[in-house]
Copies of this chain bind each other. A is one copy, B any other.
Amino acid sequence: MSFFRNFLFLGLLSVAFCQEHSDTDPHLFPRPLIIELPQNVEPRCDSSIEETRLRCTGWRVAGEANNLSPWKTIPEECIDYVKDYMLGRSYEIDLQMVSNEAARFAKSIDLKGDRMDAWIFDIDETLLSNLPYYAEHGYGLEIFDHSQFDKWVLEGVAPTIEPSLKLYKEVLRLGFKIFLLTGRTENKRNITVNNLIEAGFHNWERLILRGNEDHGKTAVAFKSDKRKEIMEEGFRIIGNSGDQWSDLIGSALSVRSFKLSNPMYFIS
């Protein structure tokens, strides 16, 4: 891109992205600065690693912006990136940001007082985290294995996504009715209820799982149909929180939706 080449910051940027790490105040050092690295630490930022990180960030953000075609596994070159993202501060910061934005929006709503204002939450990677499962299965590099994943779900030990619990409690406090709308199937109702309660979630209005009649529907169709039913009962769906675009798009849409980060898998 000739235009961008005319900006002369590229060289500076590669420095800006690959910065010097120090646990001490760098300004305490005299200059020119001599740093002695311990023997077991290898310098890790060459241009190809940096380029891979930028490509993987681009891929992740494209997913968050709903720009990607359906995908089955994460790009092979991004396994370290996805792992670092999920286990590090970035994922946590992103979850906190979406929780805060949603709470700010919820607070801005003038509830009608008829108890018909509703908020929908997805469950997996929205209220409960399956990260312990994915950590054992390549963070999305392995093709999804239904029976293995079902075994994990049936353990009922998926941990709380804390920023979502904070939002959940706030939405409840404000007077919204909470609907949990999940692609999990009816045969997992009990374990899901137990897991949710164990994880700190209480007082939802309804937990909607996939029944036999929903078999074969895409997630978009299933969730749109269920939102339509909720609306036909007279509820106003104000907010909708989910980690998949298929939680949020289709028909019978919420006033605003909130996309939680998830670079590990894609559901159509």
Which residues of A pack against B, CB within 8 Å? 1-4, 7, 9-10, 13-22, 25-27, 29, 31-39, 41-46, 49, 51, 54-55, 57-62, 64-69, 80, 83-84, 87-98, 101-102, 104-105, 129, 131, 135, 159-163, 257-259, 261
Contacts and interface: CB of A to CB of B under 8 A. Distances in A.
Central interface residue in A62, A96, A104, A160, by most chain B CB within 10 Å: A62
Given A1-B163, A20-B45, A88 B58 contact: no
B162 A1 contact: yes
B37 A31 contact: yes
A42 B10 CA distance: 18
Given A10-B89, A87-B7, A67 B16 contact: no
A11 B49 CA distance: 20
5 contacts: A7-B87, A13-B88, A16-B88, A35-B37, A60-B61
Contacts of A35: 34-35, 37
B51 A89 contact: yes
A1 B94 CA distance: 13
Contacts of A69: 101, 104-105
B16 A18 contact: no
A100 to B, nearest CB: 10
Given A36-B33, A69-B101, A84-B13, A93 B54 contact: yes
B67 A97 contact: yes
Central interface residue in A2, A98, A102, A131, by most chain B CB within 10 Å: A98
Contacts of A162: 1-3
A32 B21 contact: no
A36 B31 CA distance: 9
A259 B58 CA distance: 12
Contacts of A258: 67
Central interface residue in A9, A160, A163, by most chain B CB within 10 Å: A9
B17 A88 contact: yes
B21 A61 contact: no
B10 A87 contact: yes
B59 A61 contact: no
A27 B48 CA distance: 14
A223 to B, nearest CB: 17
